[in-house]
Amino acid sequence: MENLQNWLSLPPKYTTFRINRLKSFNSDILKDFLTTQTNELHTSVIPNFYFLNLDCLVLERWPEDSLDVTVEYQGKEIIVDALCAAAVLRGANVFAPGVVGLPVNCNLNEKVKIYGDLEGHCKRGLKIAYTGKKLFVGTGLLKMLRYELFDNGVQPSGIAVQTIMPISRLPVINEAIYPEGVLVLQNLPSIVCGWVVDARPNEYILDMCAAPGNKTTHLAEMSNDEAIIIALDKTPQKIVKIKENCSKQGVQCVKAYSFDSTKCFSSNSTGINGSPPYPSHSFDKVLLDAPCSGLGQRPQLMNKMTPKMLESYKFVQRKLMSAAVQVLKSGGRLIYSTCTVTVDENEGMVLWALEKFPCLKLVRADPLHGSPGLQGCGLSDEQRMMVQRFSPEIDPLRPTEPIYRDTIGFFIATFTKI
């Protein structure tokens, strides 16, 4: 448990991007960008990058002895919320909604120190130095002034600080170095999840909890934009985001609807070609990337999850699973995934589903890149080998490559309907 907690508090050593196979990708653009960034940082070492698949780009951090990132530069400090600080440690710029405090009399393009508010106590718009618990996460160049962030009466947007270097030494890569929709920042297990679904042309696929649409567009691209994909999310604003992402990435085979997926099945529904709900035996594949406690996200700088909140997720997941089973065709595949590390939401859900639905059979979640399911949680060794859990542990039942043990915490299981 201590090993897991330490692992969750640190950012992964890699950044992964999904490459849109519907568009053209030129690796020389990335190489030139990294060379320029290397020169600006006065080092001779260019970060390594490589491909795990045609659609998965891996970018390594700078070697430890190539850059001194531990020194906090002289200059003004900007306070960001914990989620924003975690993103900076993953190699992201600071976007305006994440900024909490900024001194007065700052200038555009002035170098600033970026601190994360670890307790959530910094009041928005703070002008003086914050004395609460904070963590230095990197340095950057200020791109927005106080009045733009706090004084104009509207929710700010855009890049507030261009990150120069996070203390994690991960390169700061903006997707905008490529034409729109070519490169998508996405966690490695989420990309693996798309590989497990393995969308094919002409398949009817339901993505039950699709926002913001990264997995949805991945499935579309895998099928060469020839699958029939229904994407659901009950929040209308999130459906707008899914449609925006489809447009950016050149995806046309997705239909997105604002709808509660727990109610996506109806015995009175007559067809699949319109809006939900849908009749039984409608879809060849169902992706249930379930709402979860999110306790696999890294780095976790602050966690306000209560036991009551933690307990609540499995009940929503069970409702979604029940609906998924109803709309799945006989012989179809149901892929269940979460970005959390709890047993109740992962191995526990597998056990519950197999007991609740005799028509479900657990099958291998190929390609198997993660570790087996946890031992001692009710799954047999045969069943543990069929699922994959992304975590730091090395399980002799199926040893995994180091890169798949240095991701976010994630879980994938696949069922077929008999």
Residue 183 in domain:
no
Alpha helices in 9-127 (DSSP H): 27-40, 82-89
Paired sense of beta strands 94-95 and 159-166, if any: antiparallel
Tens digits of per-residue pLDDT, 187-217?
999 999 999 999 999 999 999 999 999 999 9
Q: What is the largest CA-CA distance in the chain?
A: 67
Q: Are residues 145 and 214 both part of a single domain? A: no
pTM over 0.75: yes
Where in the sequence is the domain holding 6, given as residue range(s)? 2-67
Amino acid found at 291? P
Report yes or no on 152 lying in a domain.
Answer: yes
DSSP-derived pairing of the beta strands 360-363 and 410-417: antiparallel
Do the bridges between strand 204-207 and strand 228-233 make them parallel or antiparallel, or are there none, so unpaired? parallel
| 225 and 146 share one domain | no
Ordered DSSP codes for 137-197: EEEEEE-S-HHHHHSSSS---SEEEEEEEETT------GGGSSTTSEEE--HHHHHHHHHH
Residue pLDDT, tens place only, 265-318: 999 998 888 899 999 999 999 999 999 999 999 999 888 888 899 999 999 999
Bond before 189 cis per omega within 30 degrees? no
Find out whether 220 and 202 touch, Cβ atoms under 8 Å: no
Q: Of the residues 30, 47, 67, which one is the last residue of a structural domain?
A: 67
Q: Does 116 lie in the same domain as 96? A: yes
Asked whether residue 267 falls in the same domain as residue 382, the answer is yes
Can you say which residues are annotated as belonging to the binding site?
Answer: 209-215, 233, 260, 289
**Whether residues 265 and 161 fall in one domain:** no
115 shares its domain with 90: yes
Residue 264 appears among annotated catalytic residues: no
C-alpha to C-alpha distance for 182 and 187, rounded to whole angstroms: 16
- Does the residue 355 lie in any domain? yes
Q: What confidence tens digit (pLDDT) does each residue in 355-395 have?
A: 999 999 999 999 999 999 999 999 999 999 999 999 998 99
Q: Which of 84, 339, 359, 377 is catalytic?
A: 339
Is residue 1 scored above 70 in pLDDT? no
Residue 173 lies in a domain: no
Residue 52 placed within a domain: yes
Q: What is the CATH number of the domain that holds 226?
A: 3.40.50.150
Q: Does residue 256 sit in the same domain as residue 401?
A: yes
| 3-state SS, one letter per residue, for 89-114 | HCCCCEEHHHEEECCCCCCCCCEEEE
Task: Give me the mean pLDDT over the 157-165 stretch.
Answer: 92
Domain end residue (candidates: 166, 198, 218): 166
Domains in the chain, number: 3
Q: Does any domain span residue 236? A: yes
Q: Is residue 252 part of a domain?
A: yes
Which residues carry a binding-site annotation for S-adenosyl-L-methionine?
209-215, 233, 260, 289
For the stretch 90-134, pLDDT in tens is 999 999 999 999 999 899 999 999 999 999 999 999 999 899 999
- Verify that 351 and 280 share a domain, yes or no: yes
Separate counts of helices (H) and strands (E) for the chain = 10, 18
**Same structural domain, 225 and 318:** yes
Tell whether 160 and 263 lie within a shared domain: no
pLDDT value for 74: 67
